[in-house]
Chain A
Amino acid sequence: MAEIIKERDEKNSSLVFKTVQRKIANQESNSKANINCVILFLALMLGKVYYFQLDQLLFITAVLLIFSFFIDLHMKRIT
């Protein structure tokens, strides 16, 4: 039988490289989790302002904050 010396998925990246990739993936997932927390917090704040009709100025500030946050996120994705 023909001997397969190297399989398709074998020996295509070093252990060091895999470790670095894993670290980077962890960092990315942590930063995503942080962003999700901020979004949740802002959404809750917005909901509170809207339903309890507190200060209108606070409402506008919250909207602007969320808007700028999304713009920033979008710009980061593009670059």
Chain B
Amino acid sequence: MRDYEIYTTVQNESLNIRGDRGEDEFRDKLVEMLSDDQFKVLNNIYIPSTNEKYLGQIDSLLIGKRNIYVIEIKKWKGKIEGDLSDLEWIVENNKDPKRKSPYYQNKYHVKEVRKLVSYLLPKESQIMNAIINMERDAVFNIRNSDRELIFDDVEQLLELIKEIENKEASIITPEVNDKIINKILQRHFELLEEMEFKINKKLLAKHNLEYISGN
């Protein structure tokens, strides 16, 4: 939708389409590799943004048996260089090679998810920041001294998640799982309605249409 594009953080249309393709590829791989039905996945979830004009967006949120994974999916071509502490990474396949660090960007997403659901989670559970570049035609050179979940191979990432989740017994019960999902979806719809209200108000006034509530 045109008006959503204006209000979300994604502004470059070609990048947007590439990103969407990456997200679809990731979704298919995830379904293929994570065979346990206790894994629940929410794709494209809205969260508040630092800038009130925009909506933040989580590409994929994976709720496992022990932890939650907030996954940022990229489809960046070329040589990608940077450090965990860098605010920007260098992607050598572009006129403007500096791109916002997805790790840094996703840190904020993790913080928002923590605010929402940490009271529901058992103490041992973690909310993890995971970055995956789905582009095969890329040289990923990110200095990852803290061994964070930053990968350019989707199978490696999903295998690691499987390993972490299967190492010990499940601690997130199906009831808690449902509560987490409901809480996240509830926030998603609240933000969606807020944003629609803003867009509607502006557009309706412009086109002399009556205001219709988002409810």
Query: Measuring CB to CB, which residues of chain A are less than 8 angstroms from any residue of chain B?
Result: 1-9, 11-14, 16-17, 19-21, 23-24, 27
Contacts and interface: CB of A to CB of B under 8 A. Distances in A.
B30 interface: yes
A17 B214 contact: yes
Interface of B: 1, 3-4, 20, 23-24, 27, 30-31, 34-37, 39-46, 62, 181, 185, 188-189, 192-193, 196, 199-200, 203-204, 207, 209, 212-214
Given A2-B36, A20-B200, A27 B41 contact: no
Given A2-B41, A4-B43, A12-B44, 18 more contacts: A1-B34, A3-B39, A3-B40, A4-B27, A5-B40, A6-B41, A6-B43, A11-B185, A11-B188, A12-B4, A12-B192, A16-B196, A16-B214, A17-B214, A19-B212, A23-B207, A24-B203, A24-B207
B212 A6 contact: no
B181 A20 contact: no
B188 A4 contact: no
B31 A6 contact: no
Contacts of A23: 207, 209
Contacts of B199: 17
B24 A1 contact: no
A9 B4 contact: no
A14 B189 CA distance: 9
A31 to B, nearest CB: 10
28 contacts: A2-B30, A2-B34, A2-B35, A2-B36, A2-B37, A2-B40, A3-B37, A3-B39, A4-B31, A5-B41, A5-B42, A5-B185, A6-B43, A6-B44, A6-B45, A7-B43, A8-B24, A8-B43, A12-B4, A12-B46, A14-B192, A17-B214, A20-B203, A20-B212, A21-B1, A24-B203, A24-B207, A27-B207
Contacts of A9: 44
